[in-house]
Homo-oligomer: A and B are copies of this chain.
Amino acid sequence: MKLITLAHGNGGEENNELIEGIFYKYLKNDYLKKSEDASLIEGGKLAFTTDSFTISPLFFSGGDIGKLSVCGTCNDLAMMGAKPKYVTLAMIIEEGFEVSVLDEIVKSIKKELEICGAVVVAGDTKVVPRGSVDRLFINTSGVGVMQLEGISASNLAVGDAIVVSRDIGTHGAAIYANREGIDITSTLKSDCASLWPMVEALKDARIKPKEMRDATRGGLAAVLNEWAKASNICIEIDEEKIPVCSEVKGICELLGFEPSALANEGTFVLALDPNDVDEAIKVLKTFSQNKMCSCIGKVTDEYTKKVVLSSEWGTKRFLDMPTGELLPRIC
C-alpha cells in the first residue's frame, strides 16, 4: 500500500485497511468505533458524526448534493437511535461556480433539514482556484439526541431477523444511469431520503431494533459483513427475498453489478427480535417508498463472521465484503 487508490474509499475491504492501517494507528480511542455510524458522547446522551459529499453529478434523479449532505449525516445519527438536532455545513467551492446553482443547493438543504427536524448551527465556506476541486464538495457534521438506547453492531444473536426497509441499489444505479445518459431515469430514482421519521415511527410503535444501519457505500453486502464480524455470528440471507426493483435488476444484468454492493442513501437494514418483524414491516410500509420492505434472513451460528446467500434452488454461497470501486464519487 504505497499510493491511495479509489478502492480505499469504497466503504468495503480496502477502505477498512486504510482505516486500520493509518487512522487507527494514531487516533484509536474508546469513542472511535469502525463498526458504528456515529459516536456516543457526553455519557451517551448525544451522538456525533461527520460525512463529506463529493458526488458527481451534483443533481441526479431523486436528489442533489444538498439533500444528500443532510440525509447522509442525519441518517448516521438516526441509525444510532439519535434524533438529528444540530448540523454544521462546510462547503468547498470551485472559483467560477454559478451562484444560482449554489442557491438551489442551499434551498434543498433547508428543505431536507425541515424533514429531519435539524438546524444548521455553524458553517464554513472555502473558495479554491479553478482546477483545485471539481465544482463543489460539502461536509456536514451532526449532533443528535439519543432516543433509542443500546443499538449496536455487536448486538446480533442467533435467531434475530434481518429486515431491509425497501428495495436496494437505486442510488448507485440512478447515479450510474445519470452519468452514462441511460434513458431509464424517468422511472429510476435514487432512494436518497431522511430516515429519522421512520426510526421515530418504530420508536412510537415501541419496537426496539437491536441494530440499524443505512446501506450506503458498500451497500447491503458491507453492512451484513460488518455485523457478522462485530457480533461474531453468521447471517443467512434468502437471495430471492432481497427486494430489487426491475430497473436496478436491468442495470445490474447489463453491467455485471451485484445489487447488494450498490450504494443506497435512504435504505436501512435492521436486526430485530423475530417477534417484532411483522409489526416493524407494517410500520415501515406506512412510508410510501418502503412498499418492498421485507424480512430477508436471520442470524445463525453456521459460519461465524460470514454472510451466506441461499438461492431458491437450495445452493449456498458466501456474500463477501465488496472490494474494488465500481462507482467513484457516488456520495
Contacts and interface: CB of A to CB of B under 8 A. Distances in A.
Interface of A: 1-9, 15, 18-19, 22-23, 25-27, 29, 31-32, 38-39, 41-42, 46, 48-52, 54, 56, 85-86, 88-100, 102-103, 106-107, 109-110, 113, 119-129, 131-134, 137, 139, 141, 143, 325, 328-329, 331
Nearest to A29: B119
Given A26-B109, A143-B48, A328 B99 contact: no
B26 A110 contact: yes
Nearest to A11: B125
A133 B329 CA distance: 12
Given A1-B99, A129-B328, A8 B123 contact: no
7 contacts: A4-B93, A4-B97, A25-B103, A27-B106, A52-B90, A133-B137, A143-B143
A127 to B, nearest CB: 3
Contacts of A325: 127
A113 B49 CA distance: 18
A32 B133 contact: no
Contact of A41 (B8, B31, B143): B143
A127 B8 contact: yes
Contacts of A52: 90-92, 124, 126, 139
Nearest to A45: B42
A100 B143 CA distance: 33
Given A5-B127, A26-B107, A49 B88 contact: yes
A54 B90 CA distance: 12
Contact of A54 (B19, B39, B92): B92
Contacts of A132: 54, 56, 133-134, 329
Contacts of A95: 4-6, 328
B48 A122 contact: yes
Given A32-B122, A56-B132, 6 more contacts: A4-B127, A25-B103, A27-B106, A31-B119, A52-B91, A54-B126
A171 to B, nearest CB: 15
A129 B329 contact: yes
A270 B92 CA distance: 30
A88 to B, nearest CB: 4
Contacts of A126: 9, 52, 54, 331
Given A26-B109, A328-B129, A39 B86 contact: yes
